Structure formats: C-alpha cells, structure tokens
Amino acid sequence: MAPTSLKALPEQRLDDLDPPAAGLRERKKTETRDALTAAAHRLFAQRGFDATTVDDIAAVVGVSPRTFHRYFARKEDVVFADSEARFERFRNRLADVRPGDTVLSVVRRAAEAAAAEAPAHEADRLRLVARTPALRADNLGRYDELADVISTFAAQAIGEAPGDRWPSTFGACVMAALTSASRRWAAEGRSDLADEYTAVFDLLEGLDRPFAGGREAS
C-alpha cells in the first residue's frame, strides 16, 4: 500500500489532542514565546530597538520570522509581551477590598504588588522605551488604559461616573505619579521599584476618599 500523503492528512486541532499532548503543545508555545521575548530584550539592550530586526530575534531562538509573527504582530509588541497579563492581575487586585480600605489604599496595594513582581528586564525596558519614539507612543496608550482602569475603579467606589471630576483626576494623578516613579527608578538605578511606588503614594494621600456609604469588603 502506498504511504499516505502528508497533505492528505486532516489538520489536527488542539481540541482533538489527548490532554497530555495538548498540554505539551501549549507548554512548547509558551516556551517559544518566552524565548522570543527574552532574546528580543537582550538584542534591544545590546543593539537598540531600531537596529534589531525580527529576523535577528528569530535567529537567536532558532525559528523563522514567520514563527515570530505567530506570536507578535509587530516588533513593538514583543517589548510589551506581558502587558495584558499584568493589567489583568492589576484589575483583579482592585477587586480585593478589605475592611477599613480607602480608594487610595486599594490602588496602592495593587500597584506595590505589581512592582514587586516586575520582570528582571523591567528597568531595561523602561530605558528602552524612554529613548525610542515609536515605543513611547505605544507605551503612552497603555498608560492611558491603566489610568482609565483606575478612574473606573475610583468612580465605582464613590458612586460617580469615571469621567466625573474626582475619579478622572484621581486616575490621572495616580498614573502620573507611578510613571514618574518608574522613570526615576530606571534612570537612577534606585534599589526597589516598590519603594518608589510607596514614596509617591505617600504624596497622594491628600487625594484619598473613603468608599461611598462606608462600603467594605464583603
């Protein structure tokens, strides 16, 4: 019997695989994504963002540029590869309201936790963003998104709309303070990002408000 042509075989979907095989495939995908991210950050630190190509990054990992683009649509996206996951953890932490909390104390706790789990290359990424116009534009959009998350949380906490004066001002001020702390930490090599966040939150105490109606964690 003639061997079956590979082209004649039906495409195997992840859903069709046995659980161990599906798990292995997902693990390999995660490992490839992580390897591409790590390689990109090393090359960006050595050569700069503009001088590093997608081909360069893929070659370090031993995959094709096409494989790179399965994970990242653009070169800029690999710089912020973990942003969505970090944003999601931040949103979840804002839902952790405890007895005696104020609006600022919840946001402070979420931000300090985010700083404590920042990746090892975070300072390099911040410095790279600071000196690369294309990345600064991308990053500004992400900061605006996070400011909106904070404003929305603050609005819900006090029973107002996110666009009202206090929630929108609170979100903008918190993000300005965190941005300033992050940039100073990266530029000056300060010891701990969480300590920088703590210091700037101390400066924001005058902006704080209690939850509407004395609401506490359920």
The answer on 115 and 187 residing in a single domain is: yes
Domain-embedded: residue 24:
yes
The answer on 129 and 65 residing in a single domain is: no
Residue 88 vs residues 80, 92, 95, 114, 122: alpha-carbon distances, Å: 14, 6, 11, 11, 18
Q: At 143, list the tokens.
A: 């900061």
Q: What is the pLDDT of residues 161-192, one digit of tens each?
A: 999 999 999 999 999 999 999 998 998 876 68
Please state, in angstroms and rounded to a whole number, the distance separating the CA atoms of residues 57 and 35: 9
Q: What pLDDT sits at residue 217? A: 40
In this predicted structure, the answer to whether residue 205 has a pLDDT above a threshold of 80 is yes
**Residue of 206 and 174 predicted with greater confidence:** 174
Look at phi and psi of residue 81 and say left if phi exceeds 0, alpha if psi is from -120 to 50, else beta. Answer: alpha
The answer on 200 and 164 residing in a single domain is: yes
The answer on 87 and 73 residing in a single domain is: no
CATH number at residue 47: 1.10.10.60
Please state, in angstroms and rounded to a whole number, the distance separating the CA atoms of residues 140 and 130: 11
Q: What is the pLDDT of residues 50-89, one digit of tens each?
A: 999 999 999 999 999 999 999 999 999 999 998 899 999 9
- Whether the model pTM is above 0.75: yes
Please state, in angstroms and rounded to a whole number, the distance separating the CA atoms of residues 166 and 190: 32
The answer on 65 and 164 residing in a single domain is: no
**Residue of 16 and 117 predicted with greater confidence:** 117
The residue segments making up the domain with residue 42 are 18-79
Domain-embedded: residue 9:
no
The answer on 136 and 32 residing in a single domain is: no
The answer on 186 and 145 residing in a single domain is: yes
The answer on 162 and 101 residing in a single domain is: yes
The answer on 98 and 60 residing in a single domain is: no
The answer on 192 and 95 residing in a single domain is: yes
Q: What pLDDT sits at residue 188? A: 82
CATH number at residue 200: 1.10.357.10
pLDDT-derived band of residue 156, with 50, 70 and 90 as boundaries?
very high
**Residue of 110 and 18 predicted with greater confidence:** 110
Q: What is the pLDDT of residues 39-49, one digit of tens each?
A: 999 999 899 99
The answer on 131 and 35 residing in a single domain is: no
Domain-embedded: residue 204:
yes
Q: How many domains does the chain have?
A: 2
Give the Cα-Cα-Cα angle 169, 97, 152 (nearest 5 degrees): 30
- Helix ranges (DSSP H) in the chain: 19-47, 54-61, 65-71, 75-79, 83-94, 103-116, 122-130, 133-158, 165-188, 193-203
In this predicted structure, the answer to whether residue 218 has a pLDDT above a threshold of 60 is no
The answer on 88 and 38 residing in a single domain is: no
